[in-house]
Amino acid sequence: MRTPLCLLGGPGVRGRTAYGHDADRFAELGSVTKVFTGTVLTRLDRAGTVALDAPLEEYLDEVPRGTGITLRHLAEHTSGLPRLAPVPPGPPGDPYGTFDEQALRQSLRDLGRLRTGGLGEELYSNFGYAVLGHALTTATGLPYQRLVDDHVLRPLGLEAGTVTAVPPEDRRLVPRNLFGRPRLWTLTGPILPAGGLWSTCRTMADVLVGLLVDRRLGPPAPSWRRGGSVLWHNGATAGSSVVAAAHDDGRWLLLHRLGRPSRTDRLAHRILAATPPHGVG
CATH number for the domain spanning 179: value is 3.40.710.10
- Phi, psi values for residue 46, rounded to 5°: -65, -30
Q: Do 115 and 123 touch, CB atoms closer than 8 A?
A: no
Rg, the chain, Cα only: 18
Residue 279 lies in a domain: no
Can you tell me the distance from the alpha carbon of 116 to that of 165, in angstroms, rounded to the nearest whole number?
29
Q: How many domains does the chain have?
A: 1
Chain-centroid distance, C-alpha 134:
15
Q: 264 with 242: CB under 8 angstroms? A: yes
Residue 215 lies in a domain: yes
Q: What is the average per-residue pLDDT within 125-138?
A: 98
Domain that residue 127 falls in:
5-274
Give the 3-state DSSP-derived string for 146-167, with helices as H, strands as E and coil as C.
HHHHHHHHHHHCCCCCCEECCC
List the one residue out of 275, 15, 25, 276 whose CA is nearest residue 169: 25
Query: Residue range 105-116: average pLDDT?
Result: 92
Beta bridge partners of 199: 27, 163
* Residue 47: alpha-carbon gap to chain centroid: 22
Q: Is residue 281 part of a domain?
A: no
pLDDT at 281: 38
Q: Is residue 280 part of a domain?
A: no
d(Cα 243, Cα 236) in Å, to the nearest integer? Answer: 9
Q: What is the pTM of this model?
A: 0.96
Give the pLDDT score at 90.
Answer: 76
Of residues 185 and 179, more confidently modeled: 185
Q: Give the burial class of 184: count Cβ atoms within 10 A of its Cβ; 0-12 exposed, 13-18 middle, 19 or more buried.
A: middle
| pLDDT tens per residue across span 236-267 | 999 999 999 999 999 999 999 998 888 999 99
54 lies in a domain? yes
Give the confidence band of 278 by pLDDT, cuts at 50, 70, 90.
low
Segments in 87-235 forming alpha helices (H): 101-109, 111-114, 126-140, 144-148, 192-195, 201-208
